């Protein structure tokens, strides 16, 4: 079985595994207060052109989302998200567990727009009984989105502008950020994110590490006491230096960007094969997820050899599949998939 | 200004005020452990033909909803509600404050259907990753709904049947229940509710009391330790006997049903006047709320003399208004409104 | 049975009941946005010499405590309280329900001291691992305390001073405040509270109203969006005007202070009778609660005629009893108790 | 600097690092649904002689505690713990973040007794107002405790017996369990834990893994939907197979027990050196933590060469230090410490 079902089926990039081996004789202080974390933070600040940002390493994405959102909101406030956003539908209510409502808006292929944000904001404040409603106070986006799409720089700038106009902080979930940075059709860079977002995170789990997400807090208002909040949510890894070592390795010489590029290149080969086979793409994506709509018979045929997700069932005879590549995807595996698509 | 903006603009029914006066020389034990509460509970059990039900008195509806829902659900579970349900949109995230997600379905004029419930349930369990989703584990309906509509007995029986088939407890918000019981086009009675629901409550605030909602727990599974949960949510009124006295008065000789009938009768007069004036009704309601769609000019004219809510703005030139009657509505006030509608 | 078991066994002061009767023909806007609330707020601001304070009316004390504490604290912060404080032991974990730990210190007859506050604060920040501990960020006191004791003005000033030095807001639970203001041995006034506390509340439930606590927010930092938080915690009474009417009545001409004085006077008569009978007082109290330590035989004898609480069992042969007077205590009932104490 | 400040300063045991390397070419399903997790669970069930137990792998201890406690308790219930317990004082209120109060009892060198449990239980239910109190509904112990002490088998059996008598589930925090199993003076085994506890966990982070705690649910009542709760608390590691691989390695041939033995042996050498130097031990411990009470001058001298914790300051001239050994402690480092203690 060749796995395209997710981008977390493989351990870690060989250089990271080697580095863990090389450093295994060390003794380091716990809870992220070690030299590796310090160096990794410095690399990330540089990569983001954000010398004053705070950087924290957490183990996973749900943790990062929950900790950030509950750090920013007051109890009666909620977070605006696409209804397809990870926090809206794939975290078993982790955001609600901190008391906050996810204010869902209909995403457009996973993306939200300034208009949608403005509407939620204006509707709230126009309501005479607004004190009876959850107050919108944060905007959550992901890049790439759960539908594989990416924001263009103008789109992101427009979202940031409406957020600042309305006093809504902007948070970006970058679980797959490396693939978004490498995607064609978008010029968004890390410094853009640091400039346009209040907080965001750089995903490692899906981009070469065993685990780990690097949270970047750009807005000084949200820096205070953040380590308390990580600990409270069970996210302060005892051996935090393991996170430092891995992110050091990713960012000391640009490995992170190379890994993203690899995942995207392989995804683009799948994309081309899908289109060449005359199959439609449900979402027009340029990052590491491809969503062909295929006849059910073909879906069954492909399932004999490949693992993938059945994403949606738009009609009686077709299924939308999700193929996910990653930093670890082997070209020969993609070749096999291309062959199977050609055979139809 | 004649008020039709809500059903909680008046104190309490004269008989209740008199009874409070008459009993004012008494000394009673606190926290609802007094003879008045005992008697009121007995009357309510009888009215519901539910001799084994537990009855508790809480101050308000948001409290009742929050306490019941958090008593029933485990942390990872959510409650299915129409997107127009009170818990979904008018309680400032009180349900989320207890950690639970409201799983919204598109209501049909405020009502939900067995089909909608089945879909949420089946979609959840059909998802291979269902452990990443909030588990649907309770169904919330209101009767009358926030849109003034009511369930027929067959509708309610069908909802109860699907809930029992799927193991989902059914909860009914009866903040306006007295008007629902008096509504034409539905034969639902208190014994029906006790038979078909796991828990429900009988609203007093909108039906003649100063405040107070009588929670009825029919399913023995949800009885244990409920008073702890009331206290924890700040709902255990120190002078609980005030609730007992008021509900005693409502249920000792059927006053509750008379009050509901009065509110509905006056609402029906408004309904007839609206239709006579050739104005459409946005929702087809038979309880105490009427939602005429009127030209904006008429809305402005009416606003000079009457208080009401602007409910929706369906188009550029019209507004849907909400007129709310109650046990306290004076016939001469309705006459005035009818006159104004006639003048157009 | 003559009741001295609590100060919430009676309805409301006759003037309040009459006022409710007199205003019963009115129609008022809901949720506390009515003229009665406006007037009551103005009276309270004047009584507190705090023209800029925000005043809100809530139904009960647990609600007031929960709403205030969760409004002030960030998620990782806790509230310092005497271990005998109401929030520490008599609210079924309502504070914890909002995610906050009560940081208990050993109270001295229910009171805390600047030294205790300083120690909690210093211990926290001196700990190298303080991010693993709940951060102390609020001080909660009650006046009178649950043990019936009161703070002197110098004591309260010293507590306020350490709180301001350390950046800890100070909150005062005034469920029995009227009796504290009337107590001998303390000169604390409402303007003192407004000057020394960040937030406090003036209890009505135990001082002449059917229900209701008036929250006073002195520190502008805690004013924003407070009505959202009241609603979220189920505390926004639909018929908020009932609270306004009652507090108007209490504060328009000083009734509140008279009621407190009455409760204290009757308590002082009990105190004298206890001491005359040669019985010790467990706590030296000057407000409306008296705690004689009596032989068990006497306790059993008294229980035939009087309701009171058995507070503590300090040894095999004696029990500490609590007798509670109130605005409603009848002198003849106190006479009867005095007689019984004399008989021994 | 030689580190004795904690038992999580080193990466992972060489065999585990090698195993991670060896398996790095694999593709595995995510979220713990892989063959490694399956095998590791089977090994652990066998080691515990608990063929029906459910086993789950979480990343860290705070996560394990929070997830378990919030899975077991209803909202109004609390967990009994020594006041020195990790959940009581070193998790930044993680338990309170789920709404539950930690009911602290004074630990005896970190341990609690049947008498303490009985007292909390009986006091609660004897209180006429118990519905105003948090209901004790779970007992939390750790083995070894935070003070390095261990329970004997008879002690643990007595605690389990009182818990079962009172209907209180028993939970054991085994973050350092391997050292407890190897400690002298206690015969407690994994099968004993499975027999006596309702839930417990086997710590990996401090015993040879990079991270990871194996939760064992013995009581079927607490098994349902546990994976939802892990996800909700951010504990469902995407690459769950990494946990499986590590625990497989620990339990396939008894490595876990060897690692515990090594840590304890080195600790015993420190213990002997302390006593030989005529220094008292603050706690009488037989596991991997030693707490000598030393003159401040000696503490300062030792700090030049060794990292350790300053645990308590019992008087003006002495400090209690904590020295922590682990599976990774080098004998030559212990030799160096012994030398330093000898020199005094």
Among A61, A97, A103, A322, the strongest candidate for a mutation testing the B interface, having the largest count of B CBs within 10 A, is A97
Largest pairwise CA distance in chain A: 64
d(CA C208, CA C273): 26
CB pairs under 8 A between A and B: 53
A93 contacts B78? CB cut-off 8 A: yes
Per-chain mean pLDDT for chain B: 97
A71 contacts C227? CB cut-off 8 A: no
In this complex, the residue of D3, D20, D98 whose CB is nearest that of residue A27 is D3
Number of C-beta neighbours around residue A167 at 10 A: 8
Residue C315's pLDDT band, with cuts at 50, 70 and 90, is very high
Per-chain mean pLDDT for chain A: 97
User: Residues of D with CB below 8 A from A242's CB?
Assistant: 11, 210-211
D92 contacts C133? CB cut-off 8 A: yes
B101 contacts A78? CB cut-off 8 A: no
Per-chain mean pLDDT for chain C: 97
**What is the SS3 assignment for C167-192?**
CCCEEEECCCHHHHHHCCCCCCCHHH
Number of C-beta neighbours around residue C46 at 10 A: 12
Shortest Cα–Cα distance, B167 to chain C (Å): 28
Among B8, B238, B333, the strongest candidate for a mutation testing the C interface, having the largest count of C CBs within 10 A, is B238
Largest pairwise CA distance in chain D: 64
Check pLDDT > 90 for residue D339.
Answer: yes
Check pLDDT > 90 for residue B187.
Answer: yes
- Residue A5 phi, psi (nearest 5): -80, -20
In this complex, the residue of D75, D232, D236 whose CB is nearest that of residue B232 is D75
Check pLDDT > 90 for residue B31.
Answer: yes
Percent of chain A with pLDDT over 90: 99
Structure confidence by residue, pLDDT tens digits, D151-169: 999 999 999 999 999 999 9
Question: CB-based contact (8 Å) between B131 and chain D?
Answer: yes
User: Residues of A with CB below 8 A from C229's CB?
Assistant: 75-76
Question: CB-based contact (8 Å) between C234 and chain A?
Answer: no
d(CA C291, CA C303): 15
Residue D170's pLDDT band, with cuts at 50, 70 and 90, is very high
Number of C-beta neighbours around residue C313 at 10 A: 11
d(CA B269, CA B276): 10
Percent of chain B with pLDDT over 90: 99
CB pairs under 8 A between C and D: 53
Residues 6+ apart with CB under 8 A from A161: A114
C100 contacts D96? CB cut-off 8 A: yes
Q: Average pLDDT of D269-285?
A: 97
Residue C257's pLDDT band, with cuts at 50, 70 and 90, is very high
Judge contact between C223 and C217, C-beta under 8 A: yes
Structure confidence by residue, pLDDT tens digits, B279-309: 999 999 999 999 999 999 999 999 999 999 9
Question: CB-based contact (8 Å) between A272 and chain C?
Answer: no
User: Residues of B with CB below 8 A from A129's CB?
Assistant: 90
D238 contacts A11? CB cut-off 8 A: no
d(CA D232, CA A233): 11
Residue with tokens 């401040």: D296
Question: CB-based contact (8 Å) between D90 and chain C?
Answer: yes
Shortest Cα–Cα distance, B27 to chain D (Å): 19
Check pLDDT > 90 for residue C344.
Answer: no
User: Residues of A with CB below 8 A from C225's CB?
Assistant: 74, 76, 131, 135
Shortest Cα–Cα distance, D41 to chain B (Å): 19
The SS3 of residue B290 is strand
Number of C-beta neighbours around residue D114 at 10 A: 18
Check pLDDT > 90 for residue D290.
Answer: yes
Residue D344: predicted pLDDT = 82
Residue D26: predicted pLDDT = 96
**What is the SS3 assignment for chain D?**
CEECCCCCCCCCCHHHHHHHHHCCCCCCCCCCCCHHHHHHHHHHHHHCCCCCCEEEEECCHHHHHHHHHHHHCCCCEEEEEECCCHHHHCCCCHHHHCCCCEEEECCECCECCHHHHHHHHHHHHHCCCHHHCCEEEEEEEECCCCCCCCCCHHHHHHHHHHHHHHCCCEEEECCCHHHHHHCCCCCCCHHHHHHHCCEEEEECCCCCCCCCEEEEECCHHHCCCHHHHHHHCCCCCCCCHHHHHHHHHHHCCCHHHHHHHHHHHHHHHHHHHHHHCCCCECCCCCCCEECEEEEHHHHHHHCCCEECEEEECCCCCEEEEEEECCCCCCHHHHHHHHHHHHHC
User: Residues of D with CB below 8 A from A8's CB?
Assistant: 30, 238-239
Tell me whether the omega of the peptide bond preceding residue B144 falls within 30 degrees of 0, making it cis.
yes
The structure tokens listed for C330 are 């009848």
Among D69, D96, D138, the strongest candidate for a mutation testing the C interface, having the largest count of C CBs within 10 A, is D96
d(CA C61, CA C80): 18
Shortest Cα–Cα distance, B66 to chain D (Å): 12
In this complex, the residue of C20, C60, C94 whose CB is nearest that of residue B11 is C20
Question: CB-based contact (8 Å) between B211 and chain C?
Answer: yes
Quote the crossing angle between the two packed helices C14-22 and C241-251, to the nearest 10°: 130
Residue D230: predicted pLDDT = 98
Q: Average pLDDT of A252-273?
A: 98
Residue B344: predicted pLDDT = 82
Question: CB-based contact (8 Å) between D322 and chain C?
Answer: no
State how beta strands B170-173 and B135-142 pair.
Answer: parallel
The structure tokens listed for C20 are 């409710």
Percent of chain B with pLDDT over 70: 100
Structure confidence by residue, pLDDT tens digits, D174-233: 999 999 999 998 999 999 999 999 999 999 999 999 999 999 999 999 999 999 999 999
Structure confidence by residue, pLDDT tens digits, A19-49: 999 999 999 999 999 999 999 999 999 999 9
Residue A344's pLDDT band, with cuts at 50, 70 and 90, is confident
Question: CB-based contact (8 Å) between D135 and chain B?
Answer: yes
User: Residues of A with CB below 8 A from D6's CB?
Assistant: 30, 238
In this complex, the residue of A75, A132, A228 whose CB is nearest that of residue C76 is A228
Which helix (H) or strand (E) segment holds residue A241: the answer is helix A241-251
Quote the crossing angle between the two packed helices D241-251 and D35-47, to the nearest 10°: 40
Q: Average pLDDT of A212-226?
A: 98
Check pLDDT > 90 for residue B21.
Answer: yes
d(CA B312, CA B322): 9
Residues 6+ apart with CB under 8 A from D167: none
State how beta strands D213-217 and D199-203 pair.
Answer: antiparallel
Shortest Cα–Cα distance, B77 to chain D (Å): 9
Least CA distance to C134: which residue of chain A?
Answer: A228
With the C-alpha atoms ordered D278, D283, D286, D289, is the resulting torsion angle positive or negative?
A: negative
Question: CB-based contact (8 Å) between D96 and chain C?
Answer: yes
pTM over 0.80: yes
């Amino acid at each position: 079985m060749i796995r395209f079902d997710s981008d977390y089926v493989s351990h870690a990039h060989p250089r990271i595994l080697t580095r863990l081996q090389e450093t295994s004789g060390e003794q380091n202080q716990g809870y992220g207060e070690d030299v590796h974390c310090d160096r990794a933070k410095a690399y990330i600040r540089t990569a983001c052109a954000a010398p004053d940002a705070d950087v924290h390493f957490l183990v996973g994405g749900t943790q990062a989302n929950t900790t950030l959102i509950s750090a920013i909101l007051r109890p009666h406030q909620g977070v605006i998200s696409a209804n397809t956003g990870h926090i809206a539908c794939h975290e078993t209510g982790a955001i609600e567990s901190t008391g906050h409502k996810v204010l869902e808006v209909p995403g457009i292929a996973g993306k939200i727009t300034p208009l949608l944000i403005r509407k939620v904001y204006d509707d709230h404040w126009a309501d005479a009984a607004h004190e009876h409603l959850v107050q919108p106070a944060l905007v959550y986006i992901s890049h790439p989105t759960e539908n594989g799409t990416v924001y263009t720089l103008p789109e992101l700038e427009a979202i940031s502008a409406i957020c600042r106009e309305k006093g809504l902080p902007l948070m970006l979930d970058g679980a797959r950020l490396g693939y978004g940075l490498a995607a064609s059709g978008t010029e968004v860079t890390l410094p853009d994110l640091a400039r346009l977002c209040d907080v965001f995170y750089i995903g490692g789990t899906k981009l070469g590490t065993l685990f780990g997400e690097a949270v970047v807090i750009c807005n000084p208002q949200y820096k205070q006491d953040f380590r308390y909040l990580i600990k409270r949510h069970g996210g302060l890894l005892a051996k935090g230096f393991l996170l430092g070592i891995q992110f050091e390795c990713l960012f000391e010489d640009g490995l992170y960007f190379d890994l993203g590029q690899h995942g995207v290149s392989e995804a683009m080969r799948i994309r081309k094969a899908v289109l060449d086979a005359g199959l439609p793409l449900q979402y027009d994506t340029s990052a590491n997820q491809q969503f062909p709509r295929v006849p059910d018979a073909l879906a069954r045929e492909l399932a004999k050899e490949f693992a993938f997700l059945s994403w949606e069932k738009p009609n009686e005879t077709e299924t939308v599949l999700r193929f996910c590549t990653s930093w670890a995807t082997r070209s020969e595996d993609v070749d096999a998939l291309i062959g199977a698509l050609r055979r139809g």
